[in-house]
Amino acid sequence: MAVVVNPGLDRSEMILNYHTFLSAETYSYTPNISLSLPLSSPCLPTQYHNLQTSPSISVSISQPSSYTTSEDMGSMGYYQSSGPNGAPALESPRIEITAYGQFPEDEVEENNAPVAKRVNSVVTLTLPSGEGYRDPSCLSPASSLSSRSCHSEASSYESGYSCNYDNSPQNSPWQSPCVSPKGSSSLLSGTLGTSPRQSPTGSPRTSVTDESWTAPRGSRSNSPCGGKRKYSFSGNASQKYHPYSPNQSPGLSPQTSPRLSMTEDTWLPNTNQYTNSAIVAAINALSTDGMTDIGEGIPLKTRKTSMDHSASVSLKIEPGGEETGSAELCHEDYSTSRPAFKKEGYTRTSFLDVPHHPYWSKPKPYISPSLPALDWQLPSSSGPYSLQIEVQPKSHHRAHYETEGSRGAVKALAGGHPVVQLKAPLCLLRRVRTYLRLHGYMESEPLTLQLFIGTADDRLLRPHAFYQVHRITGKTVSTPSHEIMQANTKVLEIPLLPESNMRAIIDCAGILKLRNSDIELRKGETDIGRKNTRVRMVFRVHINQPNGRTVSLQVASNPIECSQRSAQELPLVDRQSVDSCPATGGEHMLISGHNFQLDSKVVFVEKGQDGHHIWEIEAKVEKDSFKTTALLVEIPTYRNQRISSPVLVNFYICNGKRKRSQYQRFTYLPCNVPTIKTEPHDDYELPRLCAQQHSPGLTKPYYALQAVSPMMPSEHRACVTAAYGPQRLTAKPSSLSCSSSSPSTSPKLQDLSPTHFSPQCLSPGSNPGLQPIAIPHVSAIQPTPGRYQQSVLYPSGSASSSPGSHPSTPSSAPELIFTPTHSLTQSPVTGDAPEMPKVPLRSGPSPLLQEEGTPATLAISIKQEPQELDQMYLDDVNEIIRNDLSSISVHTHA
């Protein structure tokens, strides 16, 4: 792709410093900047929009445009290519994309950009690999049943096609696009490719109303895979649905439906954003997923793109012809591809038409090329910054399938919607902004809050394979957003504005459920979808620092149950008033949640390393205080009252056979250890904290955090330990220096210290139910754009035992800088976990929690650092600015 350089730009230096800089006005990229823009796909969309505004921006990869393009497309969402119209079946793995130029509408939109011309040409992309969301190539172990079913069924149903199915054009023209050559080789791949990706693109209903969709829907049988899992094989209409889905799905949510997109457009305009996204995506591809993918799991396109780009992307200046195409492609992937078809009338135009959001329309100056992969564990706060969920989402939210209409945005328990806020000293933000402004980067560049759907199991937080965030638009939505794809995961980007006090009301995010069969077939996917219906909303923010570094923060919400049935029948625990008590038991614990019944049982269990129950006892439930949302139980006496160290056990609520809540964590303490109790309601979160507070005695402080999560397979633990433990320890405070900016380090560092991570924690076997979650957070402070790829924080992937699923690059964590922050992610339960480490240091026994999750609370407590810290930080920033000003930035980042 070619980049148009704006002659007028003199800021090359600046640009260099910031790596990727897009001039706001021109949107042009700096030539010769070596970006690793691996992902074209994510980027493209953005750019696409940009293009609209300003015609010619396109980033081109040095490689043959055509090829590249295709790849990019693939990553992004080539789906489109095969229009709903049934573009001719693509026999070869190709995607044809029509540049928007084709559409009249497009042109209209372009108004602003005379220079860039859209190419009307149709781009034919060759798709390397087939799947979208997940790689189909390999059946995941997990997928076991389902996958087999596919095979078997496939064979049975469509004997003829069986193997080649996916590939064969006949089956589904649509698919073809998605399915890349790879797919062709293997059924699975083909199959996978199809469905999984599609999802995003267009939820059938949402986006596509037309015939193509309709037909399939008519009967389940038609549905992909014959209704449920078989579909992939058949060349039924059903497939049509999916054509794009696999890859896209993540990216494209049903939401993307034309309408929505239009609304969304607001965002689109923002070039920088997109750019970032793209970059990020690329990076991810390269770093995390990419690695895995490389193997094959990932669609070729993605890989290739990433790889190729990674090598070094040189931006060229070009008229924009081809580039445009690329951009378009990307764009399409996101929005267009899916729904566009729906209404004939609808074309990309719709998006284009949409007015740009003020903020987004402005170019974002600052782009940090290196953003951490989505499965990396990041701290929720660093230095003066803290990302907090002020209002937690409800514990239940019925996700919608692509075949359904949207089920709306995730709501908050008390009504309204979740709220996320980035807390940071205003003065600091101001200075940073001032600095940027001085460099001509921005005026009111908003920070971008990213949102994706993550897992809620005991393993490390990572993007959920079976759920994607779904962008909601409409009258009821007040928050602008746009979606991008990042390594098969759809990410919603929401502006964080100073005017709003860096606070965002998340009323634009729904949850899309992908068919298990589609995902499980992906190559490298090891997770199984069945009964894997809990998710967390994961929020991230990347704050560029004057020093060229980027501070990345992440916070996850409380778990959200997404299945219909579960939401109606399964008991769900939101909070527990106590996390621990002496082995003698006898204390009362208030459990709050949902779907409790008068005859609900609360069972405490202790599992051995092998997962078997060593001990199990039913706690006494106070019937008189029964509520469907609360149970008061008497904590049973532990089997051994002479324990010398804390013992982690679990308990669950049972409404009958197969109707059990997730395992909740509970710790029995040696009788001589004073117990810290918290008041039932206010302290819900304390429990977790308590564990740590007591930590002196506790060997596994971090584990305590995860009260809710189910038992983690020992294997995982082991993996985690192995992978993380060492690194962690390795990473030292010293490195903190890098994050110079973070004053907070001192206190937090200690948390990270080896001590905290007692061997026990690390030891795999120590606690069956425990998770290593508590892994310290590495703050995502990234020294230089280019590096991030190298630096490995903590890929959650490693946590998963699955070999292929997430490529983890544990060993390669060269320049990782740790920030003194706390634990990473969030405990499944609260999402607050990250903060935990801090608590011990100074928080009192029972911090009051706000609303539900109250991660914020914790953070707050932590933040109370001497002002000197902030001042230090400011000084630091000032110095940087001073230096920069004195000597024009000559830094070059490669």
Partner DNA sequence: GAACTGGAATAACCT
Partner DNA sequence: CGAGGTTATTCCAGT
Q: Are 801 and 346 in contact (CB under 8 A)?
A: no
Residue 326 binds DNA (CB under 7 A): no
Exactly one of 111, 500, 568, 640 binds DNA (CB under 7 A); that residue is 568
Residue 530 binds DNA (CB under 7 A): yes
**CB of 510 vs DNA, minimal distance in Å:** 6
424: tokens are: 């940071």
267: tokens are: 């965002």
Q: Are 14 and 21 in contact (CB under 8 A)?
A: yes
**CB of 520 vs DNA, minimal distance in Å:** 8
Q: Count the Cβ atoms, other than its own, within 10 Å of residue 640.
A: 12
Q: Are 387 and 847 in contact (CB under 8 A)?
A: no
Any idea of the CA torsion for 281, 283, 286, 287, to the nearest 10 degrees? -110
Q: Which stretch binds DNA (CB under 7 A): 88-96, 110-118, 563-571, 731-739?
A: 563-571
Site for DNA (CB under 7 A): how many residues?
64
The owner of tokens 């084709």 is 102
**CB of 514 vs DNA, minimal distance in Å:** 7
**CB of 239 vs DNA, minimal distance in Å:** 11
**CB of 345 vs DNA, minimal distance in Å:** 11
Residue 405 binds DNA (CB under 7 A): yes
Site for DNA in 128-157 (CB under 7 A): 144-146, 149-150, 153
Q: Which stretch binds DNA (CB under 7 A): 214-222, 681-689, 714-722, 749-757?
A: 214-222
- Per DSSP, the residues of 703-755 read HHH-SSS-PPPHHHHHHHHHHHHHHHHHS-HHHHGGGTT-TTHHHHHHHHSTT
Residue 846 binds DNA (CB under 7 A): no
Residue 401 binds DNA (CB under 7 A): yes
**CB of 791 vs DNA, minimal distance in Å:** 36
**CB of 804 vs DNA, minimal distance in Å:** 20
Binding-residue pattern over the window 806 to 845 for DNA, x denoting contact by CB under 7 A = ----------------------------------------
**CB of 889 vs DNA, minimal distance in Å:** 44
Rg, C-alpha atoms of the chain = 26
Q: Which stretch binds DNA (CB under 7 A): 425-433, 558-566, 646-654, 758-766?
A: 558-566
Which 8-state DSSP code applies to residue 371? -
Q: Are 91 and 171 in contact (CB under 8 A)?
A: no
Residue 222 binds DNA (CB under 7 A): yes
Exactly one of 59, 178, 409, 632 binds DNA (CB under 7 A); that residue is 409
Among left, alpha and beta (phi > 0; psi -120 to 50; other), residue 477 is: beta
Exactly one of 11, 400, 601, 665 binds DNA (CB under 7 A); that residue is 400
Q: In the complex with DNA, which residue's Cβ is closer, 11 or 536?
A: 536
Exactly one of 415, 642, 657, 674 binds DNA (CB under 7 A); that residue is 657
**CB of 600 vs DNA, minimal distance in Å:** 15
Residue 516 binds DNA (CB under 7 A): yes
- Sign of the torsion formed by the C-alpha atoms of 809, 375, 436 and 9: positive
Q: d(Cα 562, Cα 553) in Å, to the nearest integer?
A: 25
Using CB atoms within 10 Å of the CB of residue 598, give its burial: 0 to 12 exposed, 13 to 18 middle, 19+ buried. Answer: exposed
- Sign of the torsion formed by the C-alpha atoms of 115, 120, 126 and 130: positive
Cβ burial 162-176 (10 Å sphere, 16+ → b, else e): ebbbbbbbebbbbbb
Residue 564 binds DNA (CB under 7 A): yes
Q: d(Cα 645, Cα 763) in Å, to the nearest integer?
A: 15
Nearest in space to 415 (alpha carbons), one of 496, 355, 505, 328: 505
Residue 531 binds DNA (CB under 7 A): yes
Binding-residue pattern over the window 474 to 503 for DNA, x denoting contact by CB under 7 A = x-xx--------------------------
Give the CA distances from residue 433 to residues 22, 554, 877, in Å, rounded to whole numbers and listed in that order: 17, 21, 11
Residue 162 binds DNA (CB under 7 A): no
Q: In the complex with DNA, which residue's Cβ is closer, 144 or 755?
A: 144
Q: Which residues bind DNA (CB under 7 A)?
A: 144-146, 149-150, 153, 205-206, 209, 216-230, 255, 257, 259-260, 398, 400-409, 411, 472-474, 476-477, 510, 513, 515-517, 529-533, 563-566, 568, 656-659
